[in-house]
Amino acid sequence: MSFFVTGLLPAASFDARVETLFRPPLGEMMAISPDGQRVAYTSPADGKLAIVIMNIEHPDRKRTVPVETDRPATGEEEQPPPVQLRFLRWATADRLVYAPVERVLPLPAGTDPTGRSVPNPDGPTILSPIMAVDADGKQRGTVVDARNFQETPADARRSLADLLRTPRQLEVTRHEPIHWRMPHLDILGFHPRDRDQLIIGTRGAYSIPLQHLVDLRVGSIKEFGDAWPVPPGEPQIFDWFRLKVVGERQAGVHPATHWRDEDLARVQRELAAKFPRRIVEILDWSDTHARVLFRVTGGSDPGRVFVFQRLEDLVLEILHLAPWLTAAKLNPTRWFEFDAADGGRLSGYLTWPAKPRLNPPPLLVVFPSGFPGRAQPAFDSEAQVFADLGFAVARLNHRSVGGVNAKDVPALRAAVDRVSVDDARAVIEWIAARNPARPFDHQRVATLGRGFGGYLALRALQLQPMVFRGGIAFDAPLDLQPWLRAQGTDGVTRSTTAGCDIPVALIEHEGTDWIKLSVLDQAAALTNPVLLLVEPTRNPAIDLATDELRARLSRLGRPPDHFELEPGWSTARPKSRVGAYRKIEEFLNRHLPSYAGKLGPVTEVP
């Protein structure tokens, strides 16, 4: 008996499936116009970023506007197109303002008279275009950019005429290099009396921070004397009409929003009732709240975007984020949540194979990447891949994902690995007890994780070898001490989270028993099959420990499987993923059954 029947998924169809599962969503940033008539959203188009503008009343009038700057950067004729926006908002009912993520391009270093390299006193070049487009897609262009505020040092202007010259004019006039710098641009909002007046702030360069009014109609800039408030970023939600914070995003097992605005809170409740068991995220609203733009995620669906038309009490679906993935073609995913025996709240998602290859199907337990980490997303392409391969996939959240409970701290400090592994075991027992009609194969339970999750996936094999029969680890830190130290040092100070989503203080303290926490030091206890997937040179500590573990296990006569991930892996390039998933399929198909047969007496690691 084997995990899979090899070859059930032909290579071409599997590749295509992975490609569709990991294709980028159609929309990311979104905004609704003040009158609620139009919606704009960013969307990938032929590998480039574009903005789609749709008219809700006349959906046939859809426009796609490429996001590309219309001015070459100073000294940089060929610039890669922007891939992300930092701002997208309607100024008026028919004018949209957007801004690509700012790019800072340092100038090449210079040399001193002795020929030594010295930092360039100018620049850097800051590309921070703020652009506008009319609702019909016409009249598109950059309204203002950082170079509009390029500055020279005060001493460079020696006459009254100099004060009126731009740095470039100054340079031309002087016939000598003039030092210059560019400020960063912050978008502060629209003037409430005339929303065609964009308020921006400059910071950096030679001046103190200043505020300016940019006329979106003509692009004229003038200084703005008011101390306009800087809109707070996430997690706070700013009402750009009422110029105040109206809510706050809250992390937890389910992302939620705490609304300070009564009306938006009411809308949230109404929408929650319309989409039970889903995550409803209000994104934007029209001036009067008559129309509200929101996104729904959860279940087996990658997500959809709607406009709530409150007058008619209708929710208008305007965008399916991945229309190529319909619910009927996906493996069903269900949220689970329960109290463990010690009172800890355990949660996660269970994806069940729509077409199991074995009955009962094997179970893949996926540990979260960090600690306490972020809540698992409702839709996960990778879980779909494994469910396609015939696995039931349980993606776990750490018990502390919504915040570490004080009563858990001693156990976590003593053995963070054991807490997580015990929780994983509790989850699989709970799933088995709660779904008697849908059993999984207890003899075929494998683990998977990446980063710290990969570490836990292997610790699970060491701590509970009778429960977890095989493990797959991506870029796993096999020895926590050097990994935390390497990650947590930025050259000067220790980071509290070690740059790897782990609270260092929780693990590293005077009582830490590093050997007990190390996968590497307890290599002998790793009796079940292991697949190590590593992106080489990404993390020297991981590379080193991986090589050492491979050597130790080889000496023990059970060399682990190993696979070098392509560099594209971390950016989720579908093609590079296919190879890794093929390797995992091969690993599970080849190793687990034979290991299951060889298990024999196994002693658990103390």
Partner 1 sequence: MNRFTASISLGLALHAGGLSPAVQAAATGAASTPAVVLPPMLVEESKTSVPWLYVSVGGTEFLSRCSESITGEFVGAWLEKMQFMRVLAPENFLARADVPAVCVLYAQDLDQTLSAEIQQELQAAAVRQGEAPDGARVNLAPNMRLGDRDMHATIVYIDESTFDGSNLNISASHVRYLLLGRVPDLPTWLVDGLERIWAGADFVLAPITLGPLVWQNQSESDALASDRTHLRALLPASELFAAEPARAMQNQHPRRRQILAAQQELFVRWAIVSSSATREALWKFAARAAEGPVTEEIFEACFGFDFSELRDRLSDYLPRAVEGTKHIYPGTLPDLPRFKVERATPQQIARVRGEWERLAIWHVQRRLPQAREPYIAQARRTLRRAYSAGDRDPRLLAIMGLCEIDAGNPAGAPEFLEPAVAGGVVRPNAYYELARLRFADLQRGGPEPRRRPWTELAPIIQPLQRALLQAPPLPEIFVLLAEAWTRCEVAPSAAEFAELELGARLFAQRPTVAWPIALVLARHGKKTEATAVLDACDGHATDEKTQAGITRLRAELSALSRSAR
59 versus 75: smaller Cβ distance to partner 1: 59
Beta carbon of residue 587, minimum distance to partner 1 (angstroms, whole number): 31
End-to-end C-alpha distance for the chain, whole angstroms: 32
Strand partners, 532: 473, 562
Task: Give the dihedral of Cα atoms 403, 405, 409, 415; nearest 10 deg.
Answer: -70
Distance (Å, whole) CA 387 – CA 391: 5
327 binds partner 1 (CB under 8 A): yes
Query: Is the Cβ–Cβ distance between 391 and 363 less than 8 Å?
Result: yes
Beta carbon of residue 439, minimum distance to partner 1 (angstroms, whole number): 16
Q: Which position among 46, 78, 176, 312 is part of the footprint of partner 1 (CB under 8 A)? A: 312
On the 0-12 / 13-18 / 19+ scale of CB atoms within 10 A, 437 is exposed
436 binds partner 1 (CB under 8 A): no
62 versus 158: smaller Cβ distance to partner 1: 62
Beta carbon of residue 64, minimum distance to partner 1 (angstroms, whole number): 12
Token readout for 564 is 């070098």
Q: Which position among 318, 350, 473, 580 is part of the footprint of partner 1 (CB under 8 A)? A: 318
318 versus 350: smaller Cβ distance to partner 1: 318
Q: Is 252 helix (H, G, I), strand (E, B) or coil?
A: coil
Cβ-based neighbours of 389, under 8 Å, separated by 6 or more: 4, 9, 353, 357, 581, 585, 588
Q: Which stretch binds partner 1 (CB under 8 A): 106-114, 132-140, 275-283, 448-456?
A: 275-283
Q: Which position among 21, 67, 296, 480 is part of the footprint of partner 1 (CB under 8 A)? A: 296
Q: In the chain, count of helices (H) and strands (E)?
A: 13, 31
- Among left, alpha and beta (phi > 0; psi -120 to 50; other), residue 584 is alpha
Q: Which stretch binds partner 1 (CB under 8 A): 55-63, 140-148, 409-417, 519-527?
A: 55-63
319 binds partner 1 (CB under 8 A): yes
Residue at token pair 């420990």:
545
378 versus 412: smaller Cβ distance to partner 1: 378
132 versus 318: smaller Cβ distance to partner 1: 318
Q: Which position among 5, 11, 59, 106 is part of the footprint of partner 1 (CB under 8 A)? A: 59
293 binds partner 1 (CB under 8 A): no
Q: Which position among 46, 60, 155, 513 is part of the footprint of partner 1 (CB under 8 A)? A: 60
183 binds partner 1 (CB under 8 A): no
Q: Which position among 112, 223, 262, 313 is part of the footprint of partner 1 (CB under 8 A)? A: 313
Q: Which stretch binds partner 1 (CB under 8 A): 93-101, 308-316, 444-452, 499-507?
A: 308-316
Q: Which of 75, 231, 66, 67 is nearest to 147 (CA)?
A: 75
Q: Which stretch binds partner 1 (CB under 8 A): 84-92, 173-181, 326-334, 465-473?
A: 326-334
54 binds partner 1 (CB under 8 A): yes
361 binds partner 1 (CB under 8 A): no
Residue 600: φ, ψ to 5°: 60, -160
Q: Which position among 295, 304, 399, 444 is part of the footprint of partner 1 (CB under 8 A)? A: 304
Beta carbon of residue 327, minimum distance to partner 1 (angstroms, whole number): 5
Beta carbon of residue 339, minimum distance to partner 1 (angstroms, whole number): 21
Residue 90: φ, ψ to 5°: -80, 130
Q: Which position among 332, 343, 540, 567 is part of the footprint of partner 1 (CB under 8 A)? A: 332
Token readout for 462 is 């060491």
Query: Is the Cβ–Cβ distance between 214 and 200 less than 8 Å?
Result: yes
List the strands of the sheet with 48-55, edge to edge: 30-32, 38-45, 48-55, 63-66
435 binds partner 1 (CB under 8 A): no
Cβ-based neighbours of 418, under 8 Å, separated by 6 or more: 411, 463
Q: Which stretch binds partner 1 (CB under 8 A): 221-229, 307-315, 368-376, 523-531?
A: 307-315
350 versus 416: smaller Cβ distance to partner 1: 350
274 binds partner 1 (CB under 8 A): yes
Query: Is the Cβ–Cβ distance between 565 and 534 less than 8 Å?
Result: yes
Q: Which stretch binds partner 1 (CB under 8 A): 115-123, 158-166, 319-327, 487-495?
A: 319-327
30 binds partner 1 (CB under 8 A): no
Q: Which position among 45, 56, 85, 340 is part of the footprint of partner 1 (CB under 8 A)? A: 56
532 binds partner 1 (CB under 8 A): no
For helices 574-598 and 11-22, give the axis angle rounded to 10 degrees.
Answer: 120
Beta carbon of residue 277, minimum distance to partner 1 (angstroms, whole number): 5
Q: Which stretch binds partner 1 (CB under 8 A): 172-180, 313-321, 390-398, 521-529?
A: 313-321
Cβ-based neighbours of 386, under 8 Å, separated by 6 or more: 351, 364, 393, 448
DSSP 528-583: S-EEEEE-TTS-HHHHHHHHHHHHHHHHTT-PPEEEEPPGGGGGT-HHHHHHHHHH
Provide the 10 A C-beta neighbour count for residue 66.
13
485 binds partner 1 (CB under 8 A): no
224 versus 336: smaller Cβ distance to partner 1: 336
Distance (Å, whole) CA 380 – CA 548: 32
Distance (Å, whole) CA 549 – CA 483: 14
Q: Which stretch binds partner 1 (CB under 8 A): 193-201, 237-245, 314-322, 583-591?
A: 314-322
Query: Is the Cβ–Cβ distance between 264 and 280 less than 8 Å?
Result: no
278 versus 398: smaller Cβ distance to partner 1: 278
How many residues lie near partner 1 (CB under 8 A)?
Answer: 32
Beta carbon of residue 26, minimum distance to partner 1 (angstroms, whole number): 8
316 binds partner 1 (CB under 8 A): yes
Q: Which of 122, 107, 108 is nearest to 182 (CA)?
A: 122
Q: Which position among 160, 218, 328, 492 is part of the footprint of partner 1 (CB under 8 A)? A: 328
272 binds partner 1 (CB under 8 A): no
Binding site for partner 1 (CB under 8 A): 54, 56, 59-60, 273-278, 296, 298-301, 304, 309, 311-320, 323, 326-328, 332
